Chain A
């Protein structure tokens, strides 16, 4: 750690399927270089992963999810996922997955060498009906460590398979009444996330 320049961390980790119903399948290995410049949030990340899911299968899965969400008769409206007992209705699972993806961008943007986050709960979801894209408005609660605070954020997520994910967000810092907000465009597919 060179505190004059910032904080450098090198990581090596393995990945597994996020969807636990598929079992704890080992998916691949990654190595990443994380750099916080001057303790500021949104570290630069250089990451390479070996994948054990083929690009074709990934595209198929993406398209399947896209179809599932498009097939919902009325634009989706839901609240409190998971519920107080940690339960997520299987039909709402894809919503949670997508929200988690959007939230992970927000959390990345807010992370500093001293603050990190976990997604606690999706407090509300509202889907916007569009012709092509999947468009959601979410409110989420993030758990901030080590302060233990619960941070509410509003996230707007626009997705189309194969295209970069668009995330707009606004978080409320209750203590200082500050707001952190931003726009992120990222690809769920790319193997390299560069500083945007």
Chain B
């Protein structure tokens, strides 16, 4: 819908940008011949098509009095556009910083010396600093070399997550593998992680995160959980028992198109990015597109709505891929779909206030899981069926799962309760993941001990 999209590209004011000269002392630079530098600089500049600051220096001058200060001001008149004041002449006792182009160095230094102006060379070669800065930025953006140097307490881009997946699978190939279950509307790969210690088509547990792209804490929690699973195997007896009998599958970026969009254009995008003729509004709410109570209350037939259910059940490739995989597998015993925010743990139904037949057992399990979660950091979750706890919503994942025979179908709404909401500070990623893990573990343990 026009007017709804906001640019969230540069969110912090005043950050230093590539190519802008910086103030401050640079690192100690190796001594290089003037002309070698100039030559290299020209090549590099030509290659990058950028402004060239090779050999330029930044001088700091302390004017003793107004007279000396005026000499500096005169410099601007004598050498128009040849002197670039980073800190202009203001008053004596305040340093004056100026960038001098390579070709002017001898002249300017001569001028300063002849007028008794003391100076120091703050930056010996501006271009070298710029190159170093550019390299550092590229390095930071460049994908992490290993899953262990990946920051689990930061939010990441789609590319970073996919790169982490590859590293993670390589580093833990004894337990983890990657499966491509389909493609999104914009043709991005939908990848899931499989955790297995062997066997063939073992009873399985499904976890998905990021079905609503703006819920960034869910992807972050999923990634941390994946790492937790491999590190806990062989150490945590409960998890070890689980993994010795069952397989775990995690769909980390259930809505990759939406997620990419939250990084590029609109941090608050919720739906996928499918388009249809007849309307300029895009996107289907993937958590209203499942075949259970489809089109009922708590979903919307208006394509411009945030809870638009789509033209038909499973019409969306992101949902169809999961349905096909789970149905094809045929042996899933639990499904956990993770959202944010509200601090809730819920079971079906969303589309109706009627209790499911396993309601009593699910209630008790939810209670136990929430208690385990609370023990970690004292965070309170409420629990119950979706329709009773949150609101009536039709065509949701867990309703479909339950109706398909997956009894232990739960959905989380992670931290917080509205203070930061979707924009949960990254400092809360690990605490959130730690407490959520204890709840997930409780559900998995119960599933293991109650085969059906």
Task: Tell me, yes or no, whether A binds B.
Answer: yes
Which A residues are within 8 Å of any B CB, using their own CB?
Answer: 78-80, 82-87, 89, 118-121, 123, 141, 143, 145-150, 172, 174-175
Q: Contact string, B13-55, partner A, CB cutoff 8 A, digits 1/0?
A: 1000000000000000000000000000000000000000000
The answer on a CB contact under 8 Å between B421 and A84 is: no
The answer on a CB contact under 8 Å between B421 and A174 is: no
The answer on a CB contact under 8 Å between B304 and A150 is: no
The answer on a CB contact under 8 Å between B423 and A175 is: no
Q: Which A residues lie within 8 Å of B154 (CB)?
A: 85
Q: Which B residues lie within 8 Å of A150 (CB)?
A: 4, 268, 306
The answer on a CB contact under 8 Å between A149 and B306 is: yes
Interface residues of B in 147-162 (CB under 8 A from A): 154-155
Q: Which B residues lie within 8 Å of A85 (CB)?
A: 154-155, 423, 425-426
- Can you list 19 residue pairs at the A/B interface with Cβ under 8 Å? A79-B13, A82-B423, A83-B11, A84-B11, A85-B154, A85-B426, A86-B420, A86-B425, A86-B428, A120-B422, A120-B423, A123-B6, A141-B268, A143-B422, A145-B391, A150-B306, A174-B1, A174-B304, A175-B302
Nearest chain A residue, comparing its CB with the CB of B305: A175
19 extra interface residue pairs, beta carbon distance < 8 Å, beyond A120-B421, A147-B305: A78-B13, A80-B8, A83-B12, A86-B420, A86-B428, A87-B425, A119-B421, A120-B423, A121-B268, A121-B423, A141-B268, A143-B422, A146-B298, A146-B391, A146-B393, A147-B306, A149-B306, A175-B304, A175-B305
Which residue of A80, A141, A145, A174 is within 8 Å of B11 (Cβ)?
Answer: A80
Q: Which B residues lie within 8 Å of A78 (CB)?
A: 13
The docked-state distance in angstroms from the alpha carbon of A136 to that of B415 is 30
The docked-state distance in angstroms from the alpha carbon of A174 to that of B4 is 8
Instruction: Tell me, yes or no, whether B418 is within 8 Å of chain A by CB.
Output: yes
Interface residues of B in 195-236 (CB under 8 A from A): 216
Q: Which A residues lie within 8 Å of B6 (CB)?
A: 123
Instruction: Tell me, yes or no, whether B3 is within 8 Å of chain A by CB.
Output: yes
The docked-state distance in angstroms from the alpha carbon of A84 to that of B264 is 11
The answer on a CB contact under 8 Å between A174 and B426 is: no
The docked-state distance in angstroms from the alpha carbon of A172 to that of B263 is 24
Nearest chain A residue, comparing its CB with the CB of B1: A174
Q: How close is B427's CB to chain A, nearest CB, in angstroms?
A: 8
Instruction: Tell me, yes or no, whether B424 is within 8 Å of chain A by CB.
Output: yes
